[in-house]
Amino acid sequence: MLVFKSMNPLDKASRDDFAKLCEALWGWKPCADWIKEQKCHKCIPEDRTCYYQRAERLRLFFDFYSETAAYYIPEFDSSLPPALNNHDDLISVIQRIKKNPSEPRVQLTREHFGINDQSSPSNDQNRAFDLAARIITTFECATEGQVDSQLEAGLQPAVWLSNGSFNQFVDSCIPKQSQLRVGPYNDMTQQHHIPLGCLAMKKLKKIAKLTIVRTDDLGNHLLLDRKNGTVAVYHHTSVLKEHLTMVHAQHSVSGPSTSQPSNLPKQLVQETMYTLKHILFPIDLESRALLQSLVTKDKFDPDLLNDIDTSWQQREGPIVYEHWGLRLMDLYDEIQNPTPRGYLERWMERKSGSRYVMMATLAGVLIAIMLGILSLAVSIFQAWIGWQQWQHPVS
């Protein structure tokens, strides 16, 4: 049977698709006025709980969703139907993953697509689940067999193993690696006594001469590229706030739980928010001006300009940078020992090695010996001139 396949079945996304996406990810849906692109007369601009306003703040995330989904291309060398025909199919996969975050990926795939002669190709099914995981977490995702191809494309995907659950995949993306602990106002309370105030983006630009790069991949947040002189900053604070809002809502309803109700671990979201609010962009005029420039020129999330509510940190005590601690220490090392950027700095760096120090020392000794010999020769010549004048006085 010949199956007609669109080249880009997810090429265009409507506001209705975005509304369904919000419902699948965070359990709320924008009002009909927003979906119809009409002005809502009921909402208050300052009301952050208004679904209309929340959807407006997520505009850049919707752009990210549209661009990411548009890359999906079905298998064309197969007569089987594609895994995704429209955005409803993708949202259905998202709902499946969120409903069963503890089931192995292979089981989720089998349950969702079924096993029969008319099922879509397995590679296509894997791409559908990779895409869904990417939308849920904003982490680049791939299966074991697709990592090489994505690396060749310049991507750094996190691997969602076939026998691993979604929760395990999320935990493996940015594993807990350090115990960099700080309290309010970046007061160090334990280990790694790093003055985090020196890691403000304005200082990273001035001292380390780093260029800020916007990233939609949470896995690249605070990633330092010494060769190119860049530091990546994850900018979707509007998305992070939605994750925290959902966590707090479920916590207040059902009480503390050991399960993961959010799309991302609460600790990871809190750390990311705190690095943006208190470390990279503290409250001062220069940092605010830099942030405004990034929003205007580099299309950072405008929500970054809004005050990030960190009152939860005051209630829950000092925050531990278990996920971003190592990258913060990398940035601190770069501040203390900046990588040479210009030609002159690189030349001086090459000449500052121990080998060149020994060569310079030896050259200095040789020059000193030569100067000593010349000085001795001049002294001998002057003595000879004096002796000649004494032997042959001028009358």
Q: For residue 340, what are the CA distances in angstroms to 9, 330, 337? A: 47, 16, 9
The region of weakest confidence among 43-52, 97-106, 359-368 is 43-52
End-to-end CA distance of the chain: 128
What pLDDT, on a 0 to 100 scale, did the predictor assign at position 275?
92
What is the rounded average pLDDT for all residues in the chain? 83
CA distance 94 to 90: 6
- How many of the other CB atoms lie within 10 Å of CB of 371? 10
Beta bridge partners, 104, equal 165
pLDDT band at residue 118 using 50, 70 and 90 as cut-offs: low
Average pLDDT over residues 328-336: 91
CA distance 201 to 275: 11
CA-wise closest residue to 185 among 319, 11, 298: 319
What pLDDT, on a 0 to 100 scale, did the predictor assign at position 138?
95
More confident residue, 168 or 262: 168
Query: In the structure encoding, which two tokens stand for residue 68, read together?
Result: 């990411």
What pLDDT, on a 0 to 100 scale, did the predictor assign at position 167?
93
What pLDDT, on a 0 to 100 scale, did the predictor assign at position 122?
86
pTM to 2 decimal places: 0.80
CA distance 125 to 209: 44
102 CB-near residues (< 8 Å, 6+ apart): 165, 166, 167
DSSP string, 224-271: EETTTTEEEEE--HHHHHHHHHHHHHHHHHH---SS--SSS-HHHHHH
More confident residue, 368 or 247: 368
pLDDT band at residue 149 using 50, 70 and 90 as cut-offs: low
Q: Which long-range contacts (CB under 8 A, 24 or more apart) does 28-33 make?
A: 28/54, 30/54, 30/55
What pLDDT, on a 0 to 100 scale, did the predictor assign at position 92?
97
Share of the chain above pLDDT 70, in %: 77
pLDDT band at residue 255 using 50, 70 and 90 as cut-offs: low
Helix, strand or coil, per DSSP, at residue 141: strand
Q: For residue 267, what are the CA distances in angstroms to 192, 262, 386? A: 19, 11, 88
Residue 253 confidence (pLDDT) above 60 = no
DSSP string, 258-286: SS--SSS-HHHHHHHHHIIIIIIS-SSHH
What pLDDT, on a 0 to 100 scale, did the predictor assign at position 165?
94
DSSP string, 186-212: G-EEESS---GGGG-HHHHHHTS-PEE
Residue 183 confidence (pLDDT) above 50 = no
CA distance 142 to 158: 6
Digit-coded pLDDT (tens) for 16-62: 999 999 999 999 999 898 999 888 777 766 666 788 999 999 999 99
Q: Could you tell me if 53 and 43 are in contact, meaning their C-beta atoms sit under 8 angstroms apart?
A: yes
The domain ranges of the chain are: 15-173, 180-343, 353-395
What pLDDT, on a 0 to 100 scale, did the predictor assign at position 2?
46
pLDDT band at residue 73 using 50, 70 and 90 as cut-offs: confident
CA-atom Rg of the chain in angstroms: 31
What pLDDT, on a 0 to 100 scale, did the predictor assign at position 91?
97
Beta bridge partners, 234, equal 215
